[in-house]
Amino acid sequence: MSSYFLDHLQYLETEAIHVMREVAAEFERPALLFSGGKDSICLLRLAEKAFRPSEIPMPFLNIDTGHHFPELNEFRDRRAKELRGKLIVRTVEDALAKGIAVQAPGQVSRNHLQIPTLLAAIEEYRFDCCIGGARRDEEKARAKERFFSFRDSFGQWDPKNQRPEIWNLYNARINQGENMRVFPLSNWTEMDVWEYIRKENLEVPSIYFSHPRQCVRRLGQWLPVNDLVPPKPGEQVEELIVRVRTIGDIISTGCVESPAMSVDDIIAETSIARVTERGSRADDKASEAAMEDRKKAGYF
């Protein structure tokens, strides 16, 4: 093999940087969606690398459901500060109060309420593009997603009418009021994300590592017990050594029993894992087309 060779992480990195610079060059008001989760941590490092020595030329946006793990928000705020970035947080709480989002009766999850909250934030700041950390390996409907994913003026995704993406030529053109979602990590897998975190020595929120936590068994998974998820009558609360593989809301993110204390441990665990990471997300199990439906409505 010649010395002019990129390993798989270098290839994915160079591709993601190309996509990010394309956004900076083609859009007037882009934003970078940053939750503090592992995918957006990689996204942030890629943005640093794409634009240095300049600072990242776009604000960070997070939609807070109010059901976030507190560890995550603390991490998000600190990281944004370290990078001297402008962090914009819009909350579902606020959207509910303003009537932008309406909770269906009996519905506890706020996952779907992120959609109107995000669309309102896009409108408020007139963002023409949002960079997100979604990956195609996460879910079947995501496997058909483009790097540059066009959204109409209602924020909708039309899977049957996507722009063909050919070579590395991205069509970034939109009309007034329309929007683009761009996913530089499209070709990354869960394993690639952890390997990149190891290679770049990136800090991640503590809940990715094993810690003792009170859990209840519900719908085949371990849910963390807290104010929003009290144990139901007859449910046994157990203290387990767990960690999270993917971070959604505190009410729907299952914990997995794991002794993984370091990124190396997580990589070793991921390489022998027998369940996909989204397997621990109740929001995706709702129906076979759960993700497809949310994406059509304007989800990330």
Partner 1 sequence: MSVPLHHPVDLLRFNTCGSVDDGKSTLIGRLLYDSKSLMDDQVEALERSADLTGGGQINLANLTDGLRAEREQGITIDVAYRYFATPRRKFIIADTPGHVQYTRNMVTGASSANLSVVLVDARLGIIEQSRRHACIASLLRIPHLVVAVNKMDLVNYSEERFIEIRDQFEEFLPRLSLRDVKCIPVSALDGDNVVDPSKNMPWYSGPTLLSHLEDVHIGSDYNLKAFRLPVQWVNRPNNPSNPALHDFRGLSGQIAGGIIRVGQPVMVLPSGFSSVVKEILTPEGSVSEAFAPQSVTIVLEHDIDVSRGDMIVDPELLPGCSKELHAKICWLHPRPLECGKKFLLKHTTQTVQAAVTTIEHRINITNLNPENGVSELAMNDIGEVRIATSGPVVFDGYAANRLTGSFILIEPGTNTTVGAGMLFHPTEVARPEYKDFVI
The footprint of partner 1 on residues 32-61 (CB under 8 A) is 49-55, 57
By CB under 8 A, name the one of 70, 153, 159, 237 that touches partner 1.
159
Tell me whether residue 160 or residue 232 sits nearer to partner 1 (CB atom).
160
> What is each CA distance from 246 to 36, 113, 215, 257, in whole angstroms?
11, 19, 16, 13
Query: Is residue 5 at the binding interface for partner 1, with CB under 8 A as the rule?
Result: yes
Rounded distance between C-alpha atoms, residue 18 and residue 12, angstroms = 10
Query: Is residue 162 at the binding interface for partner 1, with CB under 8 A as the rule?
Result: yes
Tell me whether residue 25 or residue 104 sits nearer to partner 1 (CB atom).
25
Question: C-beta of 38: minimal distance to partner 1 in Å?
Answer: 17
Footprint of partner 1 on 77-106 (CB under 8 A): none
Rounded distance between C-alpha atoms, residue 28 and residue 43, angstroms = 20
Beta bridge partners of residue 242, listed in sequence order: 211, 257
Rounded distance between C-alpha atoms, residue 145 and residue 151, angstroms = 12
> What is each CA distance from 172 to 30, 48, 169, in whole angstroms?
12, 22, 9
Is residue 186 within 8 Å of residue 131, measured between CB atoms? no
Tell me whether residue 100 or residue 267 sits nearer to partner 1 (CB atom).
267
Query: Is residue 7 at the binding interface for partner 1, with CB under 8 A as the rule?
Result: yes
Residue 18 in tokens: 């190309």
Angle between helices 263-272 and 190-200 (to 10 degrees): 160
Is residue 254 within 8 Å of residue 281, measured between CB atoms? yes
Query: Is residue 249 at the binding interface for partner 1, with CB under 8 A as the rule?
Result: no
> One symbol per residue from 262 to 291: x for binding partner 1 (CB under 8 A), - otherwise; what is it?
--xx-xxx-x-xxxx--x--------xx--
Tell me whether residue 19 or residue 121 sits nearer to partner 1 (CB atom).
19
Is residue 49 within 8 Å of residue 56, measured between CB atoms? no
By CB under 8 A, name the one of 105, 175, 232, 236 that touches partner 1.
175
Mark the segment that binds partner 1 (CB under 8 A) among 63-71, 188-196, 222-230, 234-242: 188-196
In residues, how long is the chain?
A: 300
Query: Is residue 144 at the binding interface for partner 1, with CB under 8 A as the rule?
Result: yes
Footprint of partner 1 on 203-232 (CB under 8 A): none
Question: C-beta of 216: minimal distance to partner 1 in Å?
Answer: 20
By CB under 8 A, name the one of 77, 93, 94, 165 that touches partner 1.
165
